[in-house]
């Protein structure tokens, strides 16, 4: 038989396994006898738990004795959130809804903290109520690690108070890449894309966070974004500005967009204001104007001159974000207008590859202003 023909190979194979088992057992005893830090204990315990979570049951005692699994604390454990997500399936809706009781004062503070969170902008009232019900408060101290790079994602965090530093490990060295100051949110990427944490967040002061568990986040936020993707995928792919982005990068842009509707003649941005958002016209027209001074018989007056019109697929509001200057122009809705809006943090994080295109447009704007005003306003300083 084929087994008999290979008996020599099998004997050597099992002899090697037995030798390995002996060495591994010795290694495990050395590890267990050495003192461990809290972090190491948590990491190893988690690695041991994941086997049972994945349903890797022992077939019999003899097999476990002979082929003992080796736990390597230097290998990241299998992700508990690596399952595929289909927004058309409602399996996660079968999970019991999580609710943390809150006082009126707590709920008011929570609503205030969530007011400007972009991920919540497209939720309907019932979904938003479920999110608020499921969030729980967590207090932290200075120096505490909120999340660590390469860990699995467990919660999404909304900042109520406190300051944080953001570190990213590059070539084995942690580099400070940003900070949060008493507002904002973090931790969504690992939950949305089933990836390990992309950064380490460390508190630099005492404060408070509101946390949303992974299952609720996926059931409501991820499903909502999946529906939004279907709605905006085709539209986003037609935008010339985003052609330099990879498909996955464009989808991340879709995930952070919110929708705003404006009535006829309503002001969208005002000249001289600080920039906080970038706008893409989804439907309708937007009139761009700039103030200029003109002399009259009595005095010097300012008038608004229309310098451009934006239609479906065109964008505005980017120059102030590119140049970090106040708005150089105003924008008004012409009829009913719907815009896709991206906040400044997402703009800087996701549209880096498009920055060259936007900077080239500054020169085009200057040429247009030259023809309109007879001289070029200093668009590089105040900018729309």
- 188 annotated to a ligand binding site: yes
The string of DSSP codes covering 313-343 is T-EESHHHHHHT---SSEEEEEEEEEEEEEE
- Residue 243 tokens, joined: 């052609």
Output the CA–CA distances (angstroms, integers) from residue 235 to 197, 238, 254, 354, in the order listed.
30, 5, 10, 17
Q: For CA atoms 290, 319, 358, 323, give the dihedral sign.
A: positive
Helix residue ranges, H only, 73-158: 104-114, 125-134
- Residue 316 tokens, joined: 């505005």
- 112 annotated to a ligand binding site: no
- Measured distance CA(229)–CA(235) in Å, rounded: 10
- Measured distance CA(271)–CA(273) in Å, rounded: 6
- 250 annotated to a ligand binding site: no
For residue 253, give the nearest of 292, 221, 280, 271 by alpha carbon. 280
Checking phi first, is residue 152 left (phi over 0); if not, alpha (psi -120 to 50) or beta?
beta
**Which residues belong to the annotated binding site?**
188, 197, 318, 327
**Which residues belong to the annotated binding site for 3',5'-cyclic AMP?**
188, 197, 318, 327
């Amino acid at each position: 038989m084929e087994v008999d023909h290979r008996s020599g190979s099998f004997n050597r194979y099992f002899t090697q396994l037995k030798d390995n088992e002996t060495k591994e057992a010795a290694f495990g005893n050395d590890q267990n006898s050495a003192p461990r830090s809290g972090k190491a204990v948590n990491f190893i315990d988690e690695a041991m738990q994941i086997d049972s979570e994945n349903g890797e049951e022992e077939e019999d005692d003899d097999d476990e004795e002979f082929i003992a699994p080796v736990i390597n604390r230097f290998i990241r454990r299998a992700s508990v959130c690596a399952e595929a997500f289909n927004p058309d399936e409602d399996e996660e809706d079968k999970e019991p809804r999580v609710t943390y009781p809150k006082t009126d004062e707590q709920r008011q503070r929570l609503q205030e903290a969530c007011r400007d969170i972009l991920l919540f902008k497209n939720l309907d009232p019932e979904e938003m109520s479920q999110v608020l019900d499921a969030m729980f408060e967590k207090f932290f101290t200075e120096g505490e690690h909120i999340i660590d790079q390469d860990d699995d994602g467990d919660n999404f965090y909304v900042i109520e108070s406190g300051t944080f530093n953001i570190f990213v490990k590059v070539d084995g060295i942690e580099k400070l890449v940003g900070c949060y100051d008493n507002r904002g949110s973090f931790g969504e990427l690992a939950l949305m894309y089933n990836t390990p944490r992309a950064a380490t967040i460390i508190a630099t002061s005492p404060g408070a966070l509101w946390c949303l568990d992974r299952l609720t986040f996926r059931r409501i936020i991820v499903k909502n974004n999946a529906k939004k993707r279907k709605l905006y995928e085709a539209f986003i792919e037609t935008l010339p500005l985003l052609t330099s982005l990879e498909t996955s990068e464009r989808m991340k842009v879709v995930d952070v967009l919110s929708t705003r509707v404006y009535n006829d003649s309503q002001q969208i941005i005002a000249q001289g204001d600080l920039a906080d958002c970038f706008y893409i016209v989804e439907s309708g027209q937007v009139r761009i104007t700039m103030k200029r001074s003109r002399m009259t018989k009595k005095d010097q007056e300012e008038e608004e001159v229309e310098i451009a019109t934006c239609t479906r697929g065109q964008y505005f509001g980017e120059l102030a974000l590119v140049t970090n200057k106040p708005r150089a122009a105003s924008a008004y809705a012409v009829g009913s207008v719907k815009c896709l809006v991206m906040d400044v943090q997402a703009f800087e994080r996701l549209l880096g590859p498009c920055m060259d295109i936007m900077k080239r447009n500054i020169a085009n704007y200057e040429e247009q202003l030259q023809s309109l005003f007879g001289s070029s306003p200093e668009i590089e300083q105040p900018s729309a």
